[in-house]
């Protein structure tokens, strides 16, 4: 049921920007893109979400392409504590706004 595809893993040097891509080519016009991350053996943590416009908060930036078929999560200055699995999720409209998780990207931040 997941509507997103992400690379299995990525490496990033500490202090550098981490750019995590997500493909959601079948997204519907009014479906939101959400990003969560999961540190080992913990519950997922909300990062950011968006519809059409780029978004930024204290954790990250979300860049959504004009056709909305893909997006990129940017962690501007990755730290070792950002090592986690990052999930890109398209929120199902109605139906209680369910989330169907894809396989996610394991981000390894290295010193």
User: Where on the chain is the footprint of other proteins (CB under 8 A)?
Assistant: 1-2, 32, 34, 36, 38, 41-46, 49, 87, 91, 96-104
Which of 82, 86 has the CB closer to other proteins? 86
Smallest gap from Cβ 44 to other proteins, in A, equals 5
Distance CA 6, CA 102 (A): 8
Degrees (nearest 5) of the Cα angle 8, 27, 38?
A: 35
Which of 29, 111 has the CB closer to other proteins? 29
Q: Any residues with CB less than 8 A from the CB of 85 and at least 6 apart, and which?
A: 37, 38, 104, 105, 106, 107
Task: Count CB neighbours of 48 within 10 A.
Answer: 19
Smallest gap from Cβ 41 to other proteins, in A, equals 7
- How many residues in the chain? 111
How many Å is the maximal CA-CA distance in the chain?
A: 43
Which of 51, 74 has the CB closer to other proteins? 51
Smallest gap from Cβ 13 to other proteins, in A, equals 25
Smallest gap from Cβ 16 to other proteins, in A, equals 26
């Amino acid at each position: 049921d997941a509507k997103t595809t992400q690379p299995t893993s990525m490496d990033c040097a500490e202090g550098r920007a981490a750019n995590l891509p997500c493909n959601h080519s079948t997204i519907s016009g009014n479906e939101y893109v959400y990003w969560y991350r999961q540190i080992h053996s913990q519950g997922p943590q909300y990062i950011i979400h968006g519809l059409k416009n780029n978004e930024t908060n204290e954790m990250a930036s979300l860049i959504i392409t004009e056709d909305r078929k893909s997006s990129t999560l940017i962690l501007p200055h990755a730290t070792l504590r950002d090592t986690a699995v990052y999930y890109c999720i398209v929120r199902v409209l109605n139906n209680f706004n369910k989330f169907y998780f894809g396989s996610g990207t394991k981000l390894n931040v290295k010193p």
